[in-house]
């Protein structure tokens, strides 16, 4: 069976993957969700990748902003789940006026 490491996006934590971890484990896989310190100002995707550390035997799943972290982590395979990719101009068109979700 496979080993999964699940990486959350902004404004989330490991808690958001609780049901996914349970489902994967019920199917015989090993699964863990990392809890990144998103509330610490100034950390970058490189800092988050260092906290996760190399995962050469894992399928690394990056959700939302986590998709910008997983390319910096050694992994067997990477899965982008609704990932916000680093594409020029993407944020200019990503949120409707008045969204407010970019403020902490």
Instruction: Choose the weakest-confidence range: 1-15, 47-61, 75-89.
Output: 75-89
Q: Of residues 45, 64, 68, 69, which has the active-site annotation?
A: 64
Its pTM stands at: 0.82
Helix or strand (DSSP H, E) at 7? strand 3-7
Report the 10 Å Cβ neighbour count for 3: 15
CA nearest to 81, candidates 5, 25, 23: 5
Active site residue 64: yes
Residue 63 burial by Cβ neighbours in a 10 Å radius (0-12, 13-18, 19+): buried
Query: Residue 1 — very low, low, confident or very high, per pLDDT cuts 50/70/90?
Result: very high
Which comes out higher in pLDDT, residue 44 or 95?
44
Name the DSSP class of 61.
Answer: E
Query: Residue 81 — very low, low, confident or very high, per pLDDT cuts 50/70/90?
Result: very high
Average pLDDT over residues 5-9: 96
């Amino acid at each position: 069976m496979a080993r999964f490491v699940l990486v959350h996006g902004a404004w989330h934590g490991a808690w958001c993957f609780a049901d996914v971890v349970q489902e994967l484990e019920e199917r015989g896989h090993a699964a863990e969700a990392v809890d990144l310190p998103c509330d610490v100002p100034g950390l970058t995707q490189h800092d988050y990748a260092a906290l996760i550390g190399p995962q050469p035997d894992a399928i690394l799943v990056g959700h939302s902003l986590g998709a910008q972290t997983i390319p910096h982590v050694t992994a067997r395979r990477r899965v982008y789940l609704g990932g916000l990719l680093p594409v020029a101009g993407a944020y200019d068109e990503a949120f409707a006026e008045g969204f407010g979700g970019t403020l902490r």
